Amino acid sequence: MPKGSHPDSSQSTVADQRPRSGGTPEIFGDISAIERRSRREQVSEELALSEATWHAAFESAPVAIAEVDLEGTIIRANQAMGDLLEMAAGELEGTRIAAYYHPIDRSDLERRVVTLSHGPTTEMVQRHIVTARGNDRWATALGSLVERGHGRGGPIRIYLVDTTDAHLAHERIAMAQARFGALVEHGSDAIVVEDAIEGRIVYASPSLVAVLGLPPAEAVGSTLRHLVNSDDLADPDQRRSRLAGPGTVISFDCRARHSDGGLRHLEVTSTNLIDDPAVHGVVNNLRDVSDRVAAAARLTHQALHDSLTGLPNRALLIDRLDQALARAARSGRPCALLFLDLDNFKQVNDTLGHAAGDKVLMAVADRLRDAIRPGDSVARLGGDEFVVLAENIEEPSVAVTIAKRARARIAQALIIGHDTVRVTCSVGIALSDYHSADGLLHEADLALYRSKESGGDRSEIYDQAMRAQAERRAEVEDLVRAAIENCEDLLALHYQPIVDLTTGTTIGAEALAYIRRPEGTMMRPGEFIPIAEDSGLIVPLGTAVLDLACAQQAQWRAANSGQDHVAVNVSARQLAASGFVRTVSDTLATYSLRPDNLCLELTETSLIDIGPDTLVRLHDLKAMGVRLALDDFGTGWSSLNHLRRFPIDTVKIDQSFVAGLGQNASDTELVKAVVDLGHALDLTTTAEGVETTAQDDLLRTMGCTQGQGFLYGRPQMAP
Ligand code: C2E
Ligand code: MG
Ligand code: MG
């Protein structure tokens, strides 16, 4: 709109034509008309002057101003209005102001325009503006009716102050507050604010109901110490001092009683916001970590307990033992360690199956729990090994009594399915000398070994003699280890001839393991074989013996000595090892021996609790063509069944019976019976320990096939 052609002039004309309230009636004639006219002109001039001033102010005003008619059509708008509505000011003219208001504000706008036609101004309101380009703006709006001094209802001026920035900022704050509020109100953590002075709770969030079952109102006025387990909450003074600095954050775990009676584990994070004017207190975040604590406890329990019986395992036992030893050292009252091992448990597993074996172990665990005194503990070390730790043992007899009670309980018949099982156990007892847990366990183990050695089903107390024996065993083990590592020099195999009793010729030799001591003397197998068996060293030792013996047999063959086989003693543990058959075939191949150049001697006792896998292994060896001999026959179970069950070629009659030949009737009868049995079952019979010609004569008469003993040759090293 061109400047000067003010729309107001036409409007004011229209307004002037309307009767003024309290105006002079036409009846007063010309004078008043002249008067009126001159006054109107005067007002018009004044108006024209103020219009000019107004116009300049209008255009340059920093406030957006628009003048609209009573229909809401924009008559004119200033630059600031154009900027606000994102349209050239001139182009706004003729458009409707309502078009720039958000729909929700439009009806109110219309109402206010109507109000304005009767009154001078409206109060300020907040408006949501939508610009010509469709952008959202917010403004504070004020409307006023333009008064022309001679009438009302002139255009309306609308003033808009852009408050978009403030509005958006406010909205952001409001949103953040709402979000924060929602977090506090609906979060799973409970928030508890303590006042700065007394530590009284001034605020508790609704989540306190979820966390502790407590309505927030009930918590307000009380203290944090009151809410949680007071024993777990750090000393209040200490907590206060740790929380002293403004902004300090501390965390601690504690327990709290839920209103349902259950105990909950809480992780409390306290933040000192005493200096924060909005809080002026300590804000505590209470998080229920019961699940996490329970999971951790489960893991710890699993790590420290045996899964089958639920008893403490070795790790926990060692821990308890350490503590018990420390207590014993303080009190002067020793503690006792009872090491229990079931006798022949393997048989239970083999005959009734592992499930039954597990049931036996569980029952033993229960019985041991029953047998101990309150305060003592039972642990399972694995397999069929259990330990009882008993404290405050005034004298060794107390420990022996506990062992007796435990053995008696365990020995009671046990019904498993349709079977009645009876297990006995051997016990080794050690009393604390205030030394280490490992040391005590070791001593109890040695005592257990002694009780096993003495036939089992008994208890033994560790003593000085055992200590000496233990040292001796350790020395022997070292020698065996050295012999395995350096077998060419230290493993000095001795060979004892085996003769054909009908021809008197040497047909084979038994290899016996001797170990050369550092000083050059020989250690006999009787001294170290049992120790090597116990420590497991027998397996590598046996492999070395097999290798050396086969090497020797290959040499004899090459020299045409007439010895068609070498006999090698094999222990039960070697046979139980899965690679044994392979080791044998590889060794034979290495020395280009025929399988029947090798005879493996197995003692009857080693075959007693043979498992199905081992039996298959025996049959594999037999199928390969290796000879198998049952050694020391008569000393074990001497069961005819064994002779049938195992695929053996030879029975070696133990020297103890041969020694009584011709002197002791029953020995003579027994040897005769075995020889006859050999004939019946088509087995070779070898008499061991033949020392006299009388024995030799008798054996020949009986029809014994082979002989071995000092009479024919002592064990000696191959030349
Ligand atoms: P064995 O297999 O029954 O060996 C025969 C034992 O009787 C040898 O004792 C031998 O010296 C002894 N002996 C032989 N003839 C006579 C005799 O006329 N009179 C008397 N009184 N004794 C005689 P040694 O060498 O002490 O071996 C003892 C046991 O050690 C062997 O009994 C065998 O079971 C075991 N052994 C030896 N070497 C090995 C080996 O390499 N591995 C395994 N697993 N055990 C072995
Ligand atoms: Mg033998
Ligand atoms: Mg023998």
Axis crossing angle, helix 525-535 with helix 464-485, rounded to the nearest 10:
90
- CB 105 less than 6 A from any atom of ligand 1: no
Question: Is the pLDDT confidence value at 426 over 90?
Answer: yes
Q: Whose CA is nearest to atom 21 of ligand 1?
A: 689
Q: How wide is the angle at C-alpha 697 spanned by C-alphas 696 and 701, nearest 5°? A: 115
Shared domain for 356 and 452, answered yes or no, is yes
The span from the CA of 117 to the CA of 120, in Å, is 8
- Is 155 or 82 the better-scoring residue by pLDDT? 82
Q: Averaged over 329-334, what is the pLDDT?
A: 90
Instruction: Tell whether 614 is covered by a domain.
Output: yes
CATH assignment of the domain containing 79? 3.30.450.20
Ligand 1 pocket: which of 569, 630, 656, 714 to mutate (most atoms <8 Å of CB)? 569
DSSP string, 365-391: HHHHHHHSPTT-EEEEEETTEEEEEE-
Where a domain ends, among 265, 294, 323? 294
pLDDT in tens, 166-214: 999 998 988 888 887 777 777 789 999 999 888 899 999 999 999 999 9
> What tokens does 465 get?
């003699």
pLDDT of residue 58: 85
Structural domain including 74 reads: 62-168
pLDDT in tens, 203-224: 999 999 999 999 999 999 998 8
List, in sequence order, every beta strand (DSSP E) within 432-468: 459-461
Shared domain for 440 and 556, answered yes or no, is no
Shared domain for 114 and 215, answered yes or no, is no
648 CA to middle of ligand 2, Å? 14
Question: Is the pLDDT confidence value at 638 over 80?
Answer: no
* CB atoms closer than 10 angstroms to residue 247: 10
Q: How wide is the angle at C-alpha 342 spanned by C-alphas 340 and 347, nearest 5°? A: 165
512 CA to middle of ligand 1, Å? 6
Instruction: Tell whether 180 is covered by a domain.
Output: no
Tell me the percentage of the chain whose pLDDT exceeds 90: 62
The span from the CA of 66 to the CA of 98, in Å, is 12
* CB atoms closer than 10 angstroms to residue 18: 12
Amino acid (one-letter) located at 4: G
Q: Whose CA is nearest to atom 17 of ligand 1?
A: 689
pLDDT in tens, 455-491: 999 999 998 887 788 888 899 999 999 999 999 999 9
450 CA to middle of ligand 3, Å? 24
Shared domain for 338 and 392, answered yes or no, is yes
**Closest atom of ligand 1 to CA, residue 603:** 34
Shared domain for 133 and 268, answered yes or no, is no
Q: Averaged over 286-306, what is the pLDDT?
A: 92
Buried (b) or exposed (e) across 567-591, using 16+ Cβ within 10 A?
bbbbbbbbbebeebbebbeebbeeb
CA 114 to chain centroid: 77
602 CA to middle of ligand 2, Å? 7
pLDDT in tens, 490-506: 999 999 999 999 999 99
Shared domain for 501 and 631, answered yes or no, is yes
Q: Averaged over 517-546, what is the pLDDT?
A: 95
Is the separation of the CB atoms in 428 and 447 below 8 Å?
A: yes
Question: Is the pLDDT confidence value at 232 over 80?
Answer: no
Q: Which residues pair with residue 267 across a beta bridge? A: 253, 287
Shared domain for 273 and 203, answered yes or no, is yes
Shared domain for 157 and 248, answered yes or no, is no
Lowest-confidence region among 33-47, 272-286, 656-670, 694-708: 33-47
> What tokens does 242 get?
């740790």
Q: Whose CA is nearest to atom 16 of ligand 1?
A: 689
Look up tokens 């109060």; give the residue: 123
**Closest atom of ligand 1 to CA, residue 570:** 44
The span from the CA of 660 to the CA of 669, in Å, is 10
**How many domains would you assign to the chain?**
4
- Is 689 or 603 the better-scoring residue by pLDDT? 689
Mean of pLDDT over the chain: 88
Q: Which ligand is nearest to the CA of 496?
A: 1
pLDDT of residue 644: 81
Shared domain for 370 and 284, answered yes or no, is no
454 CA to middle of ligand 3, Å? 21
Buried (b) or exposed (e) across 20-38, using 16+ Cβ within 10 A?
eeeeeeeeeeeeeeeeeee
pLDDT in tens, 103-124: 999 888 888 887 877 777 767 8
- CB 571 less than 6 A from any atom of ligand 1: yes
Shared domain for 698 and 580, answered yes or no, is yes
Q: Which ligand is nearest to the CA of 656?
A: 1
Q: How wide is the angle at C-alpha 658 spanned by C-alphas 654 and 660, nearest 5°? A: 125
The span from the CA of 590 to the CA of 161, in Å, is 106
**Closest atom of ligand 1 to CA, residue 654:** 3
Q: Whose CA is nearest to atom 10 of ligand 1?
A: 715
Shared domain for 373 and 457, answered yes or no, is yes
**CA dihedral in degrees (466, 467, 473, 476; nearest 10)?**
-140
pLDDT band, residue 239 (cuts 50/70/90): confident
- CB 686 less than 6 A from any atom of ligand 1: no
- Is 109 or 658 the better-scoring residue by pLDDT? 658
Phi, psi angles (nearest 5°) of residue 704: -65, 135
Ligand 1 pocket: which of 494, 512, 545, 654 to mutate (most atoms <8 Å of CB)? 512
Instruction: Tell whether 527 is covered by a domain.
Output: no
- Cα end-to-end distance, the chain, whole Å: 136
pLDDT of residue 49: 64
Shared domain for 283 and 382, answered yes or no, is no
CATH assignment of the domain containing 422? 3.30.70.270
